[in-house]
A = this chain, B = another copy of it.
């Protein structure tokens, strides 16, 4: 729903939409969503009344998400960054990327260096886990016992939201800036095989000056890096007739 466009404060009913590519990874690809399913999804995403954090991992749009060329399970992640003055910038990501979230040398998450001071960083895996992760990715999606996942079906979708009083142009710029967060969490990002999309919204509660826009845009990128990392870390392995893919956390745990 768009912001008020004129003096009468008319709301223009534009509803942005996007979908991840996950057909053929289980379920019935002929199923079509309808209004009732949409309502159910919104209510499920909102969670129980009072829940501070929405469900993450392999839920909702993240149910069939994979990444790293179809070798790792993806999911939904979320994170937020607080700035001085009461501005909060939050991000939600559905991580279904062609790229990998991992440092190819250490197996640590690529975004680690961008985690702001004061927040807990995910530990790098030990040598055995790093070797297991590297071998899993190198084996490709059609490894032993695993059905092939077409690598061309990738889309990472994200929403960044802030309580700052950004006008439409600055809100749009926040979405653009947040793409840096995808580039930091995934390598490669924004490829010809990805449909990476970021939506941005601003609730307008906290007035901000022009000089604060740079910090808000930077926070949008950081929040999205953290949200992608969260989606990778909260995903759980799936073994069904339609999809058989381990999650990063499983491999870190199995590698000791």
Contact = CB atoms under 8 A, between A and B. Distances in A.
A175 interface: no
Interface residues of A, number: 34
A190 B179 CA distance: 10
Interface in A151-197: 173, 176-177, 179-180, 183-184, 187-193
Contact of A105 (B117, B183, B189, B191): B117
A218 B214 CA distance: 27
Contacts of A116: 104
A229 interface: no
Contacts of A121: 105
A187 B189 CA distance: 17
Count the copies. 2
18 contacts: A98-B214, A103-B114, A104-B116, A105-B113, A105-B117, A105-B121, A106-B113, A112-B113, A114-B187, A177-B188, A177-B190, A180-B183, A180-B189, A184-B184, A187-B218, A188-B218, A192-B213, A192-B217
Given A183-B221, A189-B221, 18 more contacts: A104-B116, A105-B113, A105-B121, A108-B113, A173-B192, A176-B190, A177-B188, A179-B183, A180-B188, A180-B189, A183-B183, A184-B184, A184-B187, A187-B222, A188-B214, A188-B218, A191-B217, A193-B214
Interface of A: 98, 103-106, 108, 110, 112-117, 121, 173, 176-177, 179-180, 183-184, 187-193, 213-214, 217-218, 221-222
3 closest residue pairs by CB, A with B = A188-B218, A180-B183, A103-B113
